[in-house]
């Protein structure tokens, strides 16, 4: 078809028409040698339907919407490697949601497979819907769809990546929410599917909007040090190249720079500056070897590298003998370079590198292998853990994320069967991995023939024997230490069956109380009451009523018309102004209560002047968190319906507690000089101070009262000026 004859294209400005056709041809060019005429026709039809469905629609940036599905299709093909059906679905992924076309229309035009994938993609857009019960159901359906066709999530990852690349046109609060969702769920999911480059880009882009200052600082420092890293790589690789050539191995050596987010994580976890992150550069050696010889060639390469550089035996990671749960295979070693710096060296074959770069999609090339791919096994486990179970949104999302664990251990049954579990798993997790009945009847466990507590953390190589009895049953305490989603869901299911009896009585009590208040005891009202008390589901509401844990008199505040509750909780969005030292006031005119109680969150200790947000907790009390709070990503992703805007006022200057950690070289009078600067020079009151010194090195922690973020920054800068002080960072306050 000649696209110049298309009516809609004729309506567009020449530049936009040319740009659309250019992007479409780029997509076809990436497929040029892989598809038939029928495939081309199917893609053309998908493009034509998408073009018409999004006719005249523009994105926030002002760009025509059709550019988005075209970009998603290219990412799905070029970065993930989906097939023709996947590309057609990528072009159509928003059509049902944004037009009058239905899933049945999709099936009539493109067949059952495409319709199933589009159905999954349409449902996933509702995962973070404000209605928590709907959220759980759609997410459950999505994962069940994923287990039928993994292309659902592959296309959604491409969609989310493009949205992240174009996030700059969004309002700050909206961009923070989307970035939080991406960090909370989509990046770990990309990791689990082995799509490391997509995972890294998602994490970097999320950091760009969640922590823009630190993101730009790291980016700038990486750019400035690029030439130094290139010179180092060339010098480091030279002797290895000679050894590989001598051994007759075909190879490629490349440098891999750590992602901005990975550097940020290391800086935060270890409380170190950028300059002290030693493994910013990793060296990757890719061996051109056939599958029969690849392991031998990789270990031969290991021998050559360690002939020139001394390895750190504690940093050997062998994912060749035992691949990761997402199919990742590679040998990682850390060696000492001539410059006195540790360097990570990754050794893998071409095939392993392909799977590392393209994850699950690359596995399609190797489908001839008899062994089921580990990601297929993982998806089967996910399906088993959620089918026929009533799991609600917050628990469901948290449990699902447990299946995206990054660090793993391998343990053994008494028969020697190897089982992969998340790091820090317990004998209870192992028991449920064997069988649900084994977990439900577990009363004890032996690890390496030694009786241990059920909360014992397991390590790679442990052999576990589970002790069971028919009288055994799960305990609520187990939920405090189990790690796997399967164990959590089975324990909750058992406890839920016990709670159900009490819930039935609670429902009867609640119905009676609602009638007395003139409220009809219908489901719509019940859900609103559950939301009012910040409870996850109706069963929990009934249980709380039966247990006398709720003050039902508070229901008198609800607006009731003709027996129906009229409060629209899901759309309520308030801005609160936190009067320092007082109560929080709602900005909304007409709000029935002019002031509400709030508290400053202990997890991040916000200080006036910092960007903050409000979070309505389970007891309906508002907590004020920093936007950079460690819990902000989780709160602003799947708990966003409880988030309200918050800002400071400066009516009075009060003191707020803040913690400071200090390290340096110990010298006589050091502590005295630091305390003098704090208490006299800056006139700051200290609540607690603790210093420890050992062999010329000291660590100190101070809790002090400051009035705002500028006051805290001035204090940190003054302490840094003390001779011998190496590092000063903000930290949690001393208890």
Per-residue confidence band for 12, with pLDDT thresholds at 50, 70 and 90: low
Tens-digit pLDDT profile for residues 533-578: 877 778 888 888 888 878 888 888 888 888 888 876 654 445 666 6
Q: Report the alpha-carbon distance of residue 145 to residue 89 in Å, rounded.
A: 14
Q: Determine the average pLDDT of the residues in 250-262.
A: 92
Mean pLDDT of the region 327-355: 89
Between CA 66 and CA 59 the distance in angstroms is 9
Domain check: are 662 and 630 in the same one? no
7 pLDDT more than 60: yes
What is the distance between the alpha carbons of residues 613 and 180, in angstroms, rounded to a whole number?
14
Q: Is residue 499 part of a domain?
A: no
Type and span of the H or E element at 706: strand 697-706
Token pair 């209560």 in the structure block, residue? 593
Compare 515 and 708 and report the one with higher pLDDT.
Answer: 515
- pLDDT value of position 311: 93
Q: Which of 23, 39, 78, 98 is catalytic?
A: 98
Residue with tokens 């600082």: 217
Q: Which residues contact 487 (CB under 8 A, 6 or more apart)?
A: 428, 429, 431, 432, 433, 439, 478
Q: What is the mean pLDDT of residues 213-240?
A: 92
Structural contact between residues 332 and 346, judged by C-beta atoms closer than 8 angstroms: yes
Averaged over 597-603, what is the pLDDT? 79
Residue 56: predicted pLDDT: 82
**Amino acid 124: pLDDT:** 64
Distance between CA atoms of residues 54 and 615, nearest Å: 37
Instruction: List Cβ neighbours of 162 (8 Å cut-off, separation of 6 or more).
Output: 68, 71, 72, 75
**Worst-scoring range by mean pLDDT, 260-264, 438-442, 464-468, 648-652?**
648-652
CB proximity list for 191: less than 8 A, separation 6 or greater:
199, 326, 404, 406
If pLDDT is split at 50, 70 and 90, which confidence band does 388 have?
very low
Distance CA 97, CA 592 (A): 37
In a domain, 419, yes or no: yes
pLDDT at 1: 43
Q: Indicate the pLDDT class of residue 72, thresholds 50, 70 and 90.
A: very high
Q: Tokens 């041809």 appear where?
A: 25
Residue 611, SS3 per DSSP: coil
Residues 234 and 327 in one domain: yes
Q: What is the pLDDT of residue 184?
A: 81
Give a yes or no: residue 376 inside a domain: no
Please determine, for residue 206, whether its predicted confidence score (pLDDT) is greater than 90: yes
Q: Is residue 390 scored above 60 in pLDDT?
A: no
Residue 373 lies in a domain: no
* pLDDT on residue 615: 85
- CA proximity to 180, closest of 606, 572, 638: 638
Q: At what angle do helices 172-181 and 151-165 cross, to 10 degrees?
A: 150
Residue 521 pLDDT > 70: yes
Regarding whether 346 and 242 lie in a shared domain, the answer is: yes
Domain-terminating residue out of 629, 649, 669: 649
Residue that terminates a domain, selected from 492, 523, 555: 492
Reported as a pLDDT band with limits 50, 70 and 90, residue 204 is: very high
Instruction: Between 400 and 663, name the one with better pLDDT.
Output: 663
Residue 377 lies in a domain: no
Per annotation, catalytic residue among 63, 97, 384, 634: 97
**Average pLDDT rounded to a whole number, residues 384-408:** 56
Average pLDDT score over residue span 7-19: 73
CA distance 264 to 280: 11
199 compared with 648, residue with greater pLDDT: 199
- The 10s digit of each residue's pLDDT in 146-198 is 556 778 888 989 999 999 999 888 888 888 888 988 888 788 888 877 788 89
Token duo for residue 550: 């709720």
Q: Does residue 229 share a domain with residue 196?
A: no
Whether the CB-CB separation of 98 and 57 falls below 8 Å is answered with yes
Q: Are residues 259 and 354 in the same domain?
A: yes
Q: Which pLDDT belongs to residue 627?
A: 83
The pLDDT, as a whole number, for residue 607 is: 81
- Domain co-membership, 588 together with 634: yes
Of 425, 457, 492, the last residue of a domain is: 492
Looking up residue 698, the CATH number of its domain turns out to be 3.30.70.260
Which tops the pLDDT comparison, 632 or 445?
445
What's the number of domains the chain is made of? 6
In this structure, how many other beta carbons lie within 10 angstroms of the beta carbon of residue 218?
24
% of the chain residues with pLDDT over 90? 24
pLDDT band with cut points at 50, 70 and 90 for residue 287: very high
Alpha helices, DSSP H only, in 76-125? 84-92, 95-98, 103-110, 112-124
- 3-state SS, one letter per residue, for 266-280: HHHHHCCCHHHCCCC
The burial class, CB within 10 Å (0-12 / 13-18 / 19+), for 269 is exposed
- 107 in the same domain as 252: no
Residues 384 and 434: beta-carbon distance below 8 Å: no
Q: What is the pLDDT of residue 371?
A: 47
Q: Is 10 tagged catalytic?
A: no
pLDDT at 2 over 60: no
Asked whether the beta carbons of 431 and 458 are under 8 A apart, the reply is no
DSSP 732: P
Please answer whether residues 543 and 627 qualify as being in contact, where contact means their C-beta atoms are separated by less than 8 angstroms.
no
Residue 210 domain flag: no
pLDDT for 654-670, tens place per residue?
A: 677 788 888 888 877 77
* pLDDT score at 538: 84
Q: Within a domain: residue 698?
A: yes
Overall average pLDDT of the 487-511 stretch: 83
Q: Are 667 and 726 a contacting pair, CB within 8 Å?
A: no
Domain match, 401 and 454 both: yes
CA distance linking residue 387 with residue 377, whole number of Å: 16
68 confidence band (pLDDT: 50, 70, 90): very high
The alpha-helical segments, DSSP class H, found in 172-289 are 172-181, 187-192, 196-210, 212-224, 226-246, 260-270
We report the CATH number of the domain holding residue 257 as 3.30.460.10
97 carries an active-site annotation: yes
Distance between CA 734 and CA 657 in Å, rounded?
10
Q: For the domain that residue 72 is a member of, what is the CATH number?
A: 1.10.3210.10
CB 267 within 8 Å of CB 273 = yes
The three-point CA angle 362-366-370 to 5° equals 135
Question: Where does the pLDDT of residue 8 fall: very low under 50, low under 70, confident under 90, or very high at 90 and above?
Answer: low
Q: Provide mean pLDDT across the span 489-503.
A: 81
Please tell me whether residues 51 and 188 are part of one structural domain. Answer: yes
Percent of the chain residues past pLDDT 70, beyond the cut: 81
Overall pTM surpassing 0.75 (yes/no) = no
Q: Do 17 and 166 share a domain, yes or no?
A: yes
- 498 or 641: which leads in pLDDT: 498
Residues spanned by the domain of 268: 219-362
| Sign of CA pseudo-dihedral 167, 172, 173, 177 | positive
What is the C-alpha to C-alpha distance for residues 20 and 430, in angstroms, rounded to an integer? Answer: 54
Q: Of 217 and 670, which is predicted with more confidence?
A: 217
pLDDT of residue 227: 92
CA distances from 19 to 12, 64, 707 (A): 11, 10, 54
Is residue 370 included in any domain, yes or no?
A: no
Residues 262 and 345 in one domain: yes
Mean pLDDT of 498-516: 84
Instruction: Please tell me whether residues 532 and 598 are part of one structural domain.
Output: no
Average pLDDT over the chain reads 81
CA dist 701 and 425 (Å) reads: 33
């Amino acid at each position: 078809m000649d696209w110049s004859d298309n009516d809609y294209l004729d309506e567009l400005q020449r530049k936009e028409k040319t740009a659309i056709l250019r992007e479409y041809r780029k997509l076809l060019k990436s497929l040029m040698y892989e598809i038939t005429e029928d495939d081309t026709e199917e893609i053309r039809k998908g493009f034509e339907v998408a073009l018409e469905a999004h006719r005249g629609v523009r994105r926030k940036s002002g760009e025509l919407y059709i550019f988005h599905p075209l970009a998603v299709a290219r990412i799905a093909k070029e970065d993930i490697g989906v097939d023709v059906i996947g590309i057609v679905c990528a072009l159509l992924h928003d059509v049902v949601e944004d037009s009058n076309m239905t899933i049945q229309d999709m099936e009539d035009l493109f067949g059952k497979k495409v319709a199933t994938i589009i159905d999954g993609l349409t449902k996933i857009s509702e995962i973070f819907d404000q209605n928590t019960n709907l959220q759980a159901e759609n997410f459950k359906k999505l994962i069940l769809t994923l287990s039928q066709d993994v292309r659902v999530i592959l296309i959604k990852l491409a969609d989310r990546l493009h949205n992240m690349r174009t996030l700059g046109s969004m309002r700050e609060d909206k961009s923070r929410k989307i970035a939080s969702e991406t960090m909370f769920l989509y990046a770990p999911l990309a990791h689990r599917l082995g799509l490391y480059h997509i995972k890294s880009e998602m994490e970097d882009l999320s950091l760009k909007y969640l922590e823009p200052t630190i993101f730009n600082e790291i980016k700038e420092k990486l750019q400035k040090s690029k030439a130094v890293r290139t010179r180092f790589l060339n010098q480091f690789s030279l002797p290895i190249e000679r050894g590989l050539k001598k051994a007759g191995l075909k190879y490629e050596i490349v440098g891999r720079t750590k992602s901005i987010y990975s550097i940020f994580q290391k800086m935060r976890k270890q409380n170190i500056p950028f300059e002290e992150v030693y493994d910013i550069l990793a060296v990757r050696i890719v061996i051109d070897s056939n599958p029969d010889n690849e392991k031998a060639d990789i270990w031969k390469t290991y021998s050559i590298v360690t002939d020139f550089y001394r390895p750190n035996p504690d940093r050997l990671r062998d994912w060749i003998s035992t691949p990761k749960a997402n199919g990742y295979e590679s040998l990682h070693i850390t060696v000492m370079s001539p410059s006195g710096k540790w360097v990570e060296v990754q050794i893998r074959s071409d095939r392993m590198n392909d799977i590392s770069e393209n994850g699950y999609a690359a596995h399609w090339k190797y489908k001839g292998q008899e062994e089921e791919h580990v990601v297929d096994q993982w998806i089967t486990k996910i399906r088993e853990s959620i089918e026929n179970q009533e799991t609600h949104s917050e628990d469901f999302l948290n449990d699902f994320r447990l299946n995206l664990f990054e660090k793993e251990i391998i343990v053994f049954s008494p028969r020697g069967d190897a089982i992969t579990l998340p790091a820090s798993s317990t004998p209870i997790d192992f028991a449920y991995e064997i069988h649900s009945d084994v977990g439900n009847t577990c009363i004890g466990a032996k690890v390496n023939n030694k009786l241990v507590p059920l909360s014992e953390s397991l390590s790679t190589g442990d052999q576990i024997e589970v002790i069971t009895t028919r009288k055994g049953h799960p305990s609520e305490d187990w939920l405090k230490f189990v790690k796997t989603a399967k164990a959590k869901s089975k324990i909750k299911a058992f406890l839920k069956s016990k709670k159900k009896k009490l819930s039935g009585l609670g429902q009867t009590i609640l119905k009676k109380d609602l009638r007395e208040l003139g409220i009809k005891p219908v489901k719509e009202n019940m859900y609103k009451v559950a939301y009012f008390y910040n409870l996850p589901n109706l069963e929990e509401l009934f249980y709380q009523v039966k247990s006398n844990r709720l003050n039902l008199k508070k229901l008198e505040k609800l607006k009731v018309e003709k027996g129906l509750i009229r409060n629209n909780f899901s759309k309520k969005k308030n801005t609160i102004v936190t009067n320092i030292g007082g109560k929080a006031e709602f900005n909304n005119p007409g709000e029935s209560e002019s002031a509400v109680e709030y508290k400053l969150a202990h997890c991040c200790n916000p200080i006036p002047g910092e960007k903050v947000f409000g979070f309505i907790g389970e007891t309906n009390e508002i907590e004020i968190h920093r936007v950079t709070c460690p819990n902000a990503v989780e709160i602003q992703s799947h708990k966003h319906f409880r988030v309200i805007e918050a800002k400071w006022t400066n009516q009075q200057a009060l003191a707020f507690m803040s913690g400071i950690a200090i390290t340096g070289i110990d010298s006589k009078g050091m502590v005295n000089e630091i305390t003098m600067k704090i208490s006299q020079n800056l006139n700051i009151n200290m609540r607690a101070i603790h210093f420890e010194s050992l062999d010329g090195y000291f660590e100190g922690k101070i809790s002090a009262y400051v009035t705002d973020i500028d006051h805290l920054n001035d204090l940190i800068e003054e302490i840094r000026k003390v001779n011998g002080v190496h590092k000063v960072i903000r930290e949690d306050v001393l208890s």
